[in-house]
Amino acid sequence: MQNLKLFMLMLGCRPAGRNTEQHDMFFSVGYTVKDLVPEIKAFWPEAKGNIHVDAWREVNLVNGYRVRVVPREAAAGVPEEGADKLFFLNLGGYKPGEFDEFHYKMLAVAKDQGDAAKQARQTAFYKHTGFKGAASHIDDKFGVDVDELFKVQDILPQEVKEKYSLQLTKSSETEEDALHLGYFQLHKL
């Protein structure tokens, strides 16, 4: 029997009235990425179905932790406080002479948001995007400008959160998740 998997997708579309393509991140659970198409369309209704995927990954291993999807009941009784959690971070930064804000999307396993932000400060992106007057974002709460920082469990679709939890277990595995990059139309996933 095939196991359920956590998927991370970068969605793109150009909604009516916009001059450039817009992007958003989407996380959900399924057996294959194709299983997520109805949820993707429901996630971004303003796109009226004109969505594509620019990048996706099956999330299996993050920071030396194996990520598994388990029935919610299986996670009951596991203490939340102090336990490792999976976080999604979207960092923002600038480069001299570039009319753009660059972003770096990352996953981190950490005890809390502060620890996840600490990991973000160690990335090459954070260290090399920014200059006087346009530093890599810094804020008072996390000490690094994080455009977005979410516990992945919290941003799953509601019906997924009600059924499943994410289980993190320390692993000696080192193989990185495959990144699928390109322009993927939903009907061709």
State pLDDT tens for residues 147-158.
Answer: 788 999 999 999
Give the model's pLDDT for residue 89: 92
pLDDT(85) > 90: yes
Query: 123: which 2 tokens?
Result: 């990335």
What pTM does this model have?
A: 0.89
How much is the mean pLDDT over the chain? Answer: 88
Amino acid 27: pLDDT? 98
Helix (H, G, I), strand (E, B) or coil at 65: strand
* pLDDT tier for residue 134 given thresholds of 50, 70 and 90: confident
Per-residue confidence band for 70, with pLDDT thresholds at 50, 70 and 90: very high
Residue 188 pLDDT exceeds 50: yes
CB 139 within 8 A of CB 147: no
Which pLDDT score, from 0 to 100, does residue 185 have?
95
pLDDT of residue 48: 85
* Of the listed ranges 25-34, 136-145, 150-159, the one predicted with least confidence: 136-145
Structure tokens at 57: 């990954």
At 147, is the secondary structure helix, strand, or coil?
strand
Taking the chain, what is the end-to-end CA distance rounded to the nearest angstrom?
A: 22
Whether the predicted pLDDT of 34 surpasses 80? yes
Looking at residue 156, what is its pLDDT? 97
**pLDDT at 28 > cutoff 80:** yes
> pLDDT band for position 140 (50/70/90)?
very low
Band the pLDDT of 61: cuts 50, 70, 90. Answer: very high
- Domain ranges (residues) in the chain: 5-185
Of 75, 87, 61, nearest in space to 171 by CA: 61
If one counts every other C-beta atom within 10 angstroms of the C-beta of residue 152, the result is: 20
pLDDT at position 143 is: 46
Burial zone of 56 (CB within 10 Å; 0-12 exposed, 13-18 middle, 19+ buried):
buried
What is the rounded distance in angstroms from the CA atom of residue 102 to the CA atom of residue 88?
A: 16
pLDDT of residue 145: 57
H or E element that contains 69: strand 65-71
